[in-house]
Structure 1
């Protein structure tokens, strides 16, 4: 657990943030970022989505700090400053989503050694929501959880789904699973799409926040996924869909303008989560935590109100 680079100015988070290198059980190096909070009520483990990195959640850590919580965020393997598994570092790749649980195990060990304030809460966005749900299916230390547009299903047009499944599966056997998914871009999304056409946020200030980070530190960003990642994601989403919901209180936020994840599995999961609440945001895109101020305030208010009940 040695000191790792941390772009404090770009993150625009609370004072005192820092980063550390961690090593997962299989030897992969990942990065964890922490924003401590004096006399914290507890710690929120913020699990980013695909392509994301620690610094992107600096302002979210500020929102949580205002409500009394410390924040920990993760660079998953294959993105941010963590080890990337392909010769092309811009292609997001993982062979099996079980690998992300090795990252989670390393982070939990770090949190215990570091003595991060308890109780602990989980907050997962998009792919982080998929990884987080798998974590909650087993033994875990979390008292409650919040999800933002969790990737519990991959959005693929019905007519393309059989082809996508066949192609991603064949890529594993024929050993071209490191190739970019057809149609994906070779540059990161926020630098290749105009604001008015983007599917992440309706807030120009938060869009600029993400763009400035990508321009200032290109080593942080990621482009499209590999065929191997797609096959692993489809497999994991299907496996999770067959499992009962954990016995845990959660709130899930979903923008009604969502165009990145498949929303049907989210509605289906929340309909059978006895201690779960689905919170819909009429004017929001995919990234509720990067939306307009009123939307962000509502999300963090609802999430922390739930956490407050489980201190």
Structure 2
């Protein structure tokens, strides 16, 4: 397994790309870097969102290394350069989100903890944020803090989408009747969008850079979600909203959301943070869904929040005590 270079998106120097195989036999593409300069601050394990891939985060990897962090990242099963799960490799499929937790735990054990210096932190986007929350109980002794960018805690309303209370029972029913590996209704093999209509970022340069990488390396791309993916996402979101999930979470978490996000629900993420004593909440006005791909006006706010939260390694956090606070900006 390799990393792929592009003139608009060069590979950060010094990276080591390798495959690892999970306990259920799925090959994952991983990559790791040591920091550009000292003093060493530890390691950030970067968790992508759905349909993303390592190359999309080269800029963020460089930003983290310049701050003194080592970085580990990988492609989830079924996307990017990792092993695909269906005969049609374009279908964005997973049987259950617990399989993603298996991916994360395996990479943490075989790469992050085995090869990289502590302390350890997570930086996760969208679906990656949901997986970080699912795994938080088991990772609490391994990870100091987690920063979640627009985590998938509730669905947004982009494109006139049906409300979650209708979508989720429908996906569950279709999955139960054997349609789980089919695209969601209206789903296609390629996620086609123009910059003018995209709900992800207001930054044209970063949008077109990511499109150029996929044009050069189309095997990294996947299309729409499958029904099983959506049904599992719904089960996961229901777990987050259960009255006992938030109060049981002890890992210090910063949730950064945005007012212009139509992909996931910012208000649902805020409600989750308010019932979770170990969570803090920050809202960036005007930004869209992909905060790390956004215009510098918004992206710099996110990185400043990341810096402040990760560097605030208080005695209470290290001891595993909960931290109150829900803040907004």
Q: Distance in 2 between matches of 1:301 and 1:159?
A: 35
Instruction: Compute the TM-score of the two structures, normalised by the length of structure 2.
Output: 0.87
Give the structure 1 partner of residue 309 of structure 2. Answer: 306
Q: CA deviation at 1:159?
A: 5.2
In the other structure, the counterpart of 2:33 is 35
Cα 1:69/1:154, change in 2 over 3 Å: same
Q: Structure 1 residue 230: deviation in Å? A: 0.6
CA deviation after TM superposition for structure 1 residue 162, in Å: 5.2
**Does the CA contact (< 8 Å) of 1:44 and 1:71 recur in 2?**
yes
CA distance in 1, matches of 2:74, 2:12: 17
Q: Which residue of structure 1 aligns with residue 197 of structure 2?
A: 197
Distance in 2 separating the partners of 1:223 and 1:235: 22
Query: In structure 2, do the counterparts of structure 1 residues 159 and 290 end up closer, same or farther at CA, with 3 Å as the change threshold?
Result: closer
TM normalised by structure 1 equals: 0.92
Mapped contact 2:4–2:11 kept (Cα < 8 A): no
Q: Which residue of 2 aligns with 1:19?
A: 17
CA distance in 2, matches of 1:281, 1:57: 20
Matches within 5 A, 1:15-164: 15-37=13-35, 38-39=37-38, 40-112=40-112, 114-140=114-140, 141-155=142-156, 161=164, 163-164=166-167
Q: CA RMSD in A?
A: 1.9
Q: Say if 2:5 is the partner of 1:5.
A: no
Structure 1 CA distance for aligned equivalents of residues 17 and 282 of structure 2: 32
Distance 1:139 1:16, change over 3 A: closer
- Contact 1:13/1:61, CA 8 A, preserved across alignment: no
The answer to whether structure 1 residue 296 and structure 2 residue 294 are counterparts is no
Q: Give the superposition deviation at 1:160.
A: 5.1
Q: State the shift of 1:42 in Å.
A: 0.7
Q: How many residues align?
A: 305
Pairing 1:265–2:268 present: yes
Which residue of structure 2 lines up, in the alignment, with residue 228 of structure 1?
Answer: 228
CA distance in 2, matches of 1:176, 1:232: 13
Say if 1:259 and 1:112 are closer, same or farther in 2 by CA, change over 3 A.
closer
8 Å CA contact 1:11–1:57 kept in 2: the answer is: no
**Please, which runs of 5 or more residues in structure 2 have no aligned partner?**
315-329
Distance 1:166 1:275, change over 3 A: closer
Shift of 1:101: 1.1
Distance 1:305 1:42, change over 3 A: same
Stretch of structure 1 that moved more, 106-115 or 22-31: 106-115
Question: How many angstroms does 1:161 deviate by?
Answer: 4.1
Structure 1 position 46, deviation (Å): 0.7
Question: Which residue in 2 is equivalent to 1:248?
Answer: 251
**Partners of 1:126 and 1:112 in 2: how far apart?**
21
